[in-house]
Amino acid sequence: MDSLVSTQWLADEIGASDLRIVDATAFLPEHARNPLLEYEACHIPGAVFMDLADIVDTTSPVPNMLPSAEKFASRMQALGLGDGSRVVIYDDSPIKTSTRAWFMLTMFGAQNVALLDGGIAKWKAEGRRCAQGRETLRQRHFTVWSDDSHVRTKADVITNLSTGSEQLIDARGAPRFTGAVPEANPALASGHIPGARNVPYSSLFAPDGTWKTPDAIKAAFEAAGVDLSRPVISSCGSGMTANVVIFALHLIGKDDVSLYDGSWSEWGLDPATPKATGPA
């Protein structure tokens, strides 16, 4: 199974005994939408709902931080996702939250995970069938395992400011990156981490919501001044759209990419961290 699958591929595979379909839609407060209600109203047949708001480290003062391996495995088992499952994830979110689910599944040991190109919006646009209510699957064993080698902390990013060993990419829109627009949370400073390059996550998609071609993805990074031969740390507002950057780079064969999970929610809150404004 490729990392990116088409709606036709999924339609042909639905019903396979090892296939698990996951709706990983999540929203920001300003979207004023309820992902579970939307899932119950219309989801791809057989899909279970992954509540990303519940799969976080609730002990961290920083919002939306990665959970422990034990917590993640427990949530996956409850969803019926187990060792050996082929997992296809989709969303219907403006911030492409299926990429966060993909990052976590791969980090916590799932071997065969793909995103649905175009999400459920493309599925519905093609007139394909939706199901209502909630789907439940038999619990399956999901081994507790974690590889955090592609996760960076605030301390790592501070060290990197001196060493420059990894490039920083910020997935937020240009107005937030430059500081022209203030953060929604008034406690957060405006601007970006010094030295970061700006690749807005929305620039990686075609107008119909599917991913751009590999050549167009490469061009987007190169236009922002990213050297694709060097390793990358991806950041955003709260560790969500940074995963869009990570998946886009994965699509072009680049996997020496790490997530700064705290992102601007952590960096912008700390008065001691350096901040930059204006274009990169």
Q: Give the separation between CA 99 and CA 101, rounded to whole angstroms.
A: 5
The label of the residue with tokens 């916590």 reads 108
Q: Which 8-state DSSP code applies to residue 197? A: E
Task: Specify the 3-state DSSP secondary structure of 16.
Answer: coil
Catalytic member of 105, 236, 249, 280: 236
Q: Which two tokens stand for residue 130?
A: 């939706």
Cα separation, 188 vs 269, whole angstroms: 5
Give the DSSP H or E segment for 146.
none
Q: CA triplet 171, 173, 175: central angle to 5 degrees?
A: 135
Contacts of residues 206-213 at CB distance under 8 Å and 24 or more positions apart, as own/partner, are 208/118, 208/122, 209/118, 209/119, 209/121, 209/122, 210/117, 210/118, 210/122, 211/4, 211/117, 211/248, 211/251
Beta bridge partners of 162: none
To the query of whether residue 42 is one of the catalytic residues in this protein, the response is no
Cβ partners under 8 Å of residue 142, min gap 6 = 73, 76, 77, 81, 82, 83, 109
By annotation, the residues acting in catalysis are 236
